[in-house]
Chain A
Amino acid sequence: MQLSRNKEYSNREADERASNFEIDPADIFWLDFYCSFFSFAGLLFISAAGAGEPLHRDLQPLPRRARQPRCGIFSTFGTQRDGNDFHAFWTEFEYGATAWWTTELYLDGQTTFNESTVFTGFRLENRFRLLQREHLINPVLYVEYEQITGADKILKEIEGHDGESDLADSNAALRKEHKHELEFKLLLSSNFKGWNVAVNPIVTKNLLPSEPWEFAYAIGTSRPLMLKASPNRCNFCLENFVAGVEMYGGLGDVQSAGLHDTSHYLAPTVAWNLPSDWTLHLSSGFGLNQNSHRLLLRWGISHEFSGFGEAVRRLFGGQP
């Protein structure tokens, strides 16, 4: 009888775990294996082709070099009132197909403390430079498709009426919501006397017909700590550091546009570009109203792979 009850409990627990999409620590190895293998395979294929230079990311200090993929690991630690704090993380694989087109794949996951670690979906983004030459304002069109669950907490953008309370539920409850969204941004940036100023109006549409168009914004400015480069190769030269500040938040949706029931963040940022092609990013976002998380601490590390495309092309017998 006791055995039967234990078995029943075990089965129920198993079903619950299945529905919660939880991952045992022992399976982390396989998670890493799957993610790394298939992502690397995808990257390999992407990198085997193409010519030119990726576009510049908004608010990002340095341009990309030709045919060099960039991989990065980023994370957001967020505080959560009426719930558990969380640590969301994502992996980025970026490649510049041409000098005017950059494509990028994101894989998202998160750990909610005292709950579970879950994979929350993927995003595929493309950026297109609209003008050939440098102008006072340089527009880049950004199109992203995302297939994520409601448990996604990377909070790369805050859209519509998104707020802290949306993420207060358990992972089990949040992951029942599935989002297939298209996101459009117009990345407007301007460079003046070493300062980069960027304004991004954002429009998002959940592909469910019943869901409204949502609006958001991100603005920011940044500047290298030193505009002149020093003659020597160095890690700690001031020109390698870029400091700035960002502000981002939601602007409601088509049914109720405006600032009511929206959340907003102000975030000082710093990036450290090492000569070895590694870049470290750090940003601490402070919630500006009651709908916002008190703190969103972001950090990340990314690397550009010199000569990667050429190496892959040679591997497949192509001309260097």
Chain B
Amino acid sequence: MKTGYASFRAVQRIGLATIGGAVLGIVILGISTAVAQKQGTATDKKKESTYAALAEAPEKARQRKNPFEGDPQAMAAGGKLFQQHCVECHGEKAGGTKKGPSLLHEEVRQATPGALFWVLTNGVVRRGMPVWSKLPEQQRWQIVAFLHSLKPESLDSHSGSDER
């Protein structure tokens, strides 16, 4: 009987520890919500800022050429990487979601490969766009190749289609 009680006490302590963890989680929830609200109140502003980041790319970075320019294999690989890492924010068809802007937008299409690569590498951390520098450079260029492969026709048919 007492052995059972001892085991119960053990489990009870585990329960208390996990309750503590849950309480801490709730505290984090509060802080996280506050930060999220601050960040998420102006989605349009966020999108504008993300596009503005393209203009912030230094001239030297902007002039860099994509080593995979026009390479269909690289575009396909970039599409795969886009599905793995980018769709969560930018949508299945790159048309944008509440979390991230459309990549079919004119400013993205007009951006040089170097500018897109620079934004991918540096992110726009304050606006929620992460730094993707841990993806190998080649893979970032493959994503850039994919983004540039999105045709104006797909812009017409897809623009805003991911907006929920």
Contact = CB atoms under 8 A, between A and B. Distances in A.
Contacts, number: 219
A82 interface: no
Contact of A21 (B13, B79, B81, B138): B13
Interface in A27-78: 27, 30-31, 34-35, 37-39, 41-43, 45-46, 48-54, 56, 61-68
A38 B23 CA distance: 9
The dominant DSSP class at the B interface is: helix
A84 interface: no
Interface in B18-72: 18-22, 24-26, 28-33, 35-36, 39-40
Interface residues of B, number: 68
Interface stretch (A227-235, A257-265, A281-289, A295-303): A227-235
Contact of A99 (B6, B80, B129, B142): B129
Contact of A66 (B33, B89, B133): B89
A233 B39 CA distance: 34
Nearest to B11: A30
B29 to A, nearest CB: 4
A99 B126 contact: yes
A317 interface: no
Instruction: Among B5, B17, B21, B121, find the residue whose CB has the most chain A CB atoms closer than 10 A.
Output: B21
Contacts of B40: 51
B137 A194 contact: yes
B29 A49 contact: yes
Contact of A18 (B5, B14, B79): B5
**A interface bracket (residues with beta carbon within 8 Å of B):** 35 or more
12 contacts: A10-B3, A42-B26, A51-B40, A63-B132, A64-B130, A65-B85, A98-B35, A99-B126, A100-B126, A194-B137, A228-B139, A229-B81
Interface of B: 1-3, 5-11, 13-15, 17-22, 24-26, 28-33, 35-36, 39-40, 73-74, 76-81, 83-85, 88-89, 98-100, 121-123, 125-139, 142, 164
Given A14-B6, A227-B136, 12 more contacts: A11-B2, A22-B7, A51-B35, A52-B128, A67-B88, A98-B36, A99-B123, A122-B18, A229-B81, A230-B80, A307-B88, A320-B98
Interface of A: 10-11, 13-15, 17-18, 21-24, 26-27, 30-31, 34-35, 37-39, 41-43, 45-46, 48-54, 56, 61-68, 95, 97-101, 103, 105, 107, 119, 121-122, 124, 129, 132-134, 138, 147, 191, 193-194, 196, 224, 227-233, 239, 275, 306-307, 319-320
